[in-house]
Structure 1
Amino acid sequence: MKILWVKPGKLLPLDTGGKLRTYNILRHLGATHDLTYLSYYGGQRDEAYERDVLTHLPGTVSVYTAAPEATGSARYFDYLRHFSNPAPYSISKFAAPQVRKLLREWIPQHKFDVAVCDFLASTLNFPDKLVTPTALFQHNVETILWKRKADFEAKWLDRIVSKVEYAKMRRFEPEQTRRFHHVIAVSETDRETMSPMVGREHISVVPTGVDLRKYQYDPAARPSGPLVVFTGSMDWAPNIDGVEFFCKEIWAQVLAKVPAARFRIVGRDPQPRVRALASENVEVTGTVPSIIDHLREAAVFVVPLRIGGGTRIKIYEGMAMGKATVSTTIGAEGLDVQHGRDILLEDSPAGFASAIITFLQNEEVRRRYEAAAAATARKYDWSVITEQFVQVLQKTIQAAQRQVEDLDSVPK
């Protein structure tokens, strides 16, 4: 197949779950299909990135949009600038005239057998009339994500922004999901959530995967003491909320039973709220070359998320390395895991702490969960996931053909 893939933002470095999911599927698709990856980004021009991404994905077309990359207080002013736009700010800021122009040229020319709109944020760049069969790849159900952010956001100003984004997203997301020939979800949970928007028959599930060459289980390995580890991008609001929740409401209960325990927060760009959590038994690493060594040292891997959508790749990465894992139900939402089999799911601070304590104090129980976790993750190598993705792309082509046939059958 000739495949066009469109995604906002730089793909490298691979420091978020969305980037990892996209990269691994693209890597496997490019090995057997004619792939054109349109990578567009703003901020400052990054020629090193444009060269680097080509070495990973030779069919890449990089487009520098020169869109401002607002951070800190400037983000609020940029938000106000977009406020009158009916589309959510998280979408409208990724609308790029250069990309719209390219897609208006490419889509009608039948240059590709199928196109992928990767993330809802890319949708405004696609023409209204999709002549090329096109799938919308939904890593998250954005409406749910913004609703949860509105419920849990700590800063009052961010909470107001989240509520406005949620209100706009409730209208925008259903409109966009109906516009594409097919929608790809990352879990059955997301599929059910989106079904009222577009109809269940128009949504297929391609689950999250893991790179089993990279994340390997060693049954003989032992943790580096009573170490509890969390991994994730520490500039992402759900992760910030998660580690704050953990440190303020869970960690003291763990220390009361296991005084020697240590908690390590591993991930890029820790915000001031995260850095403030550092103490004699809480370490904030910042950006690291690889999370593998940190996972290898962990006795327990935790995912204390209260906000989020889609699925957490980090859980399968930890499980693939045979890590005893404790998560909230939202943290493990949509994954093929089962409480009491290969993971412990706890939403209350007391229950979460008790699960960690069990793993730290009872090696026999911990090792049983380690083996079960690795067995679950083995089913989800990215090569297998990509085969499923190809089947859905073929389904997208068939859906577009049926749409044309239905239009042709209407009396003129």
Structure 2
Amino acid sequence: MQPASLSILTPTPLYPAHAGAKTHSLNALRQLSQYYTVDSYCLTKQPEAIDWGPLPQWCRDLRAFAPTKPTRRNLDPPAVDLEFSQPMLDYLQQRWQQAAPKLLQLEGTTMAQYAPFARRLGVQATICTVHQVGFVAQWRRLQREKSWPLRARRLAGLLSLWLYEQRALRHCDLLVTLSETDQQTLARWQPKLNIVTVPSGVDFAEWPLCRQQQAPQQVLFVGNYFHPPNVEGALWLAREVWPLVQAQMPEARLMLAGRSPTPEIQQMASATIAVPGTIDDLRAVYRQSRVVAAPIFWGSGVRIKILEGLAAGLPLVTTALAAEGLPLKPEEHALFAERPADFAAALVRILQNPELGAQLGDAGRQLIADRYDWRAIGLQLQQHYQALL
């Protein structure tokens, strides 16, 4: 029997996957290509310069389109308008009028704007992957703002996102959240929506144990610095926490790894803080580190970097919000701290106690192996998708 067709629309190219959402989407596509005939379409300012990487082996049709300014007048958030592409609509209309896919997968709530278009052209079912609930992220950001002009701006953004997500997500036949927390939030506002939780994960076979006894006393922070919560977390770690660690362990080093460090992040570089920029293979820096730090204070969804750090077998120090949606038990899978002094104390505790680091690292790695391997997650997605057909 011919596999059902699945089209996937993403707001950015999936390769190279230097951000958590990209990593999730790329792994999901790879797994779903085992069950469906996959076409993948993305937005990028330079479609002619795109590098598809491994995608051609998994996809039948691959296209990239430039975003364009929408002609419609609305109150949608700026992020929604930035992910509108008339050339993509024109291409899909021509292609789908001949044979519409059975399933359409939209990556992120801002891409849900394409769901009504798909329904008009005969797509049987539309799925939206909710990487984060936008209005929840904005609410948490608003709570952290101290400037009244910025608070007013965040409030306007919150209301705009809330109105958009309430309206747009109704046009999707299935919402896939990455955490039960996000599922419960959406269900509270939209109890009639079809919402399931399927976690993100890692390809466990590609993540060997990276913890090295001879590794230097290095703390590792990983983040895509296009994402504001990562910038805030990295700066908090470097400015508020790191001097306290240095006071107790002058030989310790901090690495702020990740794509596109902002000028503020780059200014943190010093004799004890490294800012290497984009790193293609994070496994190499995990081998050079003793502990992973993940201080995140706002946002929504699941942090892929935490899953990868745990898969690598490194101990983790994190905030409660960063670990949201993950069943991490304090003192068993990770250490938790919210204040600079407590966070620094947790880092020093692991750096000075290799046995504790090994205990936490082994427990975290086992949790990933048991519950977050992409092969099992891909099967969960396929089962939910088949229910729509």
Question: Could you tell me the TM-score, scaled by structure 2's length?
Answer: 0.90
Is 1:391 paired with 2:371? no
Structure 1 unaligned spans of 5+:
69-80, 398-412
Q: Which residue in the other structure is 1:188 paired with?
A: 180
CA distance in 2 between counterparts of 1:365 and 1:204 reads: 36
- Residues 44 and 108 of structure 1: is their aligned pair in 2 closer, same or farther, counting only changes over 3 Å? closer
- Residues 128 and 62 of structure 1: is their aligned pair in 2 closer, same or farther, counting only changes over 3 Å? closer
CA distance in 1 between counterparts of 2:81 and 2:220 reads: 36
- Residues 368 and 52 of structure 1: is their aligned pair in 2 closer, same or farther, counting only changes over 3 Å? closer
Following TM superposition, by how much is the alpha carbon of 1:111 offset from its aligned partner in structure 2, in angstroms? 2.8
Q: Tell me the SS of whatever aligns to 1:92.
A: helix
Q: Which residue in the other structure is 2:34 paired with?
A: 31
Q: Which residue in the other structure is 2:60 paired with?
A: 59
- Select which of 63, 66, 87 maps to 2:76: 87
CA distance in 2 between counterparts of 1:224 and 1:303 reads: 19
CA distance in 1 between counterparts of 2:251 and 2:244 reads: 13
- Select which of 172, 182, 205 maps to 2:197: 205
**What pairs with 1:257-296 in structure 2 (closer than 5 Å)?**
257-296=248-287
Question: Could you tell me the TM-score, scaled by structure 1's length?
Answer: 0.86
Following TM superposition, by how much is the alpha carbon of 1:352 offset from its aligned partner in structure 2, in angstroms? 1.3
Instruction: Give the letter for the 2:31 counterpart.
Output: H
- Are the aligned partners of 1:218 and 1:322 in contact in 2 as well (CA < 8 Å)? yes
CA distance in 2 between counterparts of 1:58 and 1:280 reads: 46
Q: Tell me the SS of whatever aligns to 2:381.
A: helix
Instruction: Give the letter for the 1:44 counterpart.
Output: Q
Following TM superposition, by how much is the alpha carbon of 1:336 offset from its aligned partner in structure 2, in angstroms? 2.7
**What pairs with 1:132-211 in structure 2 (closer than 5 Å)?**
132-152=124-144, 161-199=153-191, 202-211=194-203
Following TM superposition, by how much is the alpha carbon of 1:282 offset from its aligned partner in structure 2, in angstroms? 0.9
Instruction: Give the letter for the 1:126 counterpart.
Output: A
- Select which of 209, 212, 216 maps to 2:208: 216
Following TM superposition, by how much is the alpha carbon of 1:53 offset from its aligned partner in structure 2, in angstroms? 5.8
Instruction: Give the letter for the 1:19 counterpart.
Output: K
Following TM superposition, by how much is the alpha carbon of 1:269 offset from its aligned partner in structure 2, in angstroms? 0.9
Is 1:100 paired with 2:89? yes
Q: Which residue in the other structure is 1:45 paired with?
A: 47
Following TM superposition, by how much is the alpha carbon of 1:217 offset from its aligned partner in structure 2, in angstroms? 1.5
CA distance in 2 between counterparts of 1:64 and 1:115 reads: 17
CA distance in 1 between counterparts of 2:282 and 2:142 reads: 30
Q: Which residue in the other structure is 2:374 paired with?
A: 382
Following TM superposition, by how much is the alpha carbon of 1:55 offset from its aligned partner in structure 2, in angstroms? 3.1
Following TM superposition, by how much is the alpha carbon of 1:366 offset from its aligned partner in structure 2, in angstroms? 1.4
Corresponding residue pairs, total:
382
Q: Tell me the SS of whatever aligns to 1:162.
A: helix
What value does the CA root-mean-square deviation take over the aligned residues?
Answer: 2.5
- Are the aligned partners of 2:238 and 2:268 in contact in 1 as well (CA < 8 Å)? yes
Q: Tell me the SS of whatever aligns to 1:143.
A: helix
CA distance in 2 between counterparts of 1:254 and 1:105 reads: 60
- Select which of 236, 244, 249 maps to 1:253: 244
Q: Relative to structure 2, which stretch is displaced further, 234-243 or 143-152?
A: 143-152
Is 1:4 paired with 2:22? no
CA distance in 1 between counterparts of 2:388 and 2:148 reads: 42
Deviations 1:134-178 (A, max 9, x none): 111101111111222333468987665433221201111111222
**What pairs with 1:352-371 in structure 2 (closer than 5 Å)?**
352-371=343-362
- Residues 339 and 128 of structure 1: is their aligned pair in 2 closer, same or farther, counting only changes over 3 Å? same
Following TM superposition, by how much is the alpha carbon of 1:104 offset from its aligned partner in structure 2, in angstroms? 4.4
Instruction: Give the letter for the 1:190 counterpart.
Output: D
CA distance in 1 between counterparts of 2:148 and 2:55 reads: 42
Following TM superposition, by how much is the alpha carbon of 1:390 offset from its aligned partner in structure 2, in angstroms? 0.7
Following TM superposition, by how much is the alpha carbon of 1:128 offset from its aligned partner in structure 2, in angstroms? 5.3
Instruction: Give the letter for the 1:31 counterpart.
Output: Q
- Are the aligned partners of 2:47 and 2:64 in contact in 1 as well (CA < 8 Å)? no
CA distance in 2 between counterparts of 1:266 and 1:56 reads: 30
Q: Relative to structure 2, which stretch is displaced further, 256-265 or 318-327?
A: 256-265
- Are the aligned partners of 1:96 and 1:125 in contact in 2 as well (CA < 8 Å)? no
Following TM superposition, by how much is the alpha carbon of 1:57 offset from its aligned partner in structure 2, in angstroms? 3.3
Following TM superposition, by how much is the alpha carbon of 1:226 offset from its aligned partner in structure 2, in angstroms? 1.4
Q: Which residue in the other structure is 2:319 paired with?
A: 328
Is 1:244 paired with 2:235? yes
- Are the aligned partners of 1:11 and 1:53 in contact in 2 as well (CA < 8 Å)? no
- Residues 82 and 279 of structure 1: is their aligned pair in 2 closer, same or farther, counting only changes over 3 Å? farther
- Residues 154 and 60 of structure 1: is their aligned pair in 2 closer, same or farther, counting only changes over 3 Å? farther
- Residues 126 and 96 of structure 1: is their aligned pair in 2 closer, same or farther, counting only changes over 3 Å? farther
**What pairs with 1:293-332 in structure 2 (closer than 5 Å)?**
293-332=284-323
CA distance in 1 between counterparts of 2:374 and 2:248 reads: 39
- Residues 158 and 55 of structure 1: is their aligned pair in 2 closer, same or farther, counting only changes over 3 Å? farther
CA distance in 2 between counterparts of 1:214 and 1:158 reads: 43
Q: Relative to structure 2, which stretch is displaced further, 354-363 or 128-137?
A: 128-137
Is 1:123 paired with 2:124? no
- Are the aligned partners of 2:217 and 2:290 in contact in 1 as well (CA < 8 Å)? yes
Instruction: Give the letter for the 2:104 counterpart.
Output: A
Structure 1 residue ranges (4+ consecutive) displaced by more than 6 angstroms after TM superposition: 81-84, 154-158
CA distance in 2 between counterparts of 1:331 and 1:122 reads: 24
CA distance in 2 between counterparts of 1:252 and 1:202 reads: 48
Q: Which residue in the other structure is 1:18 paired with?
A: 21
CA distance in 2 between counterparts of 1:47 and 1:344 reads: 43
Following TM superposition, by how much is the alpha carbon of 1:367 offset from its aligned partner in structure 2, in angstroms? 1.2
Percent of aligned pairs with the same residue?
25
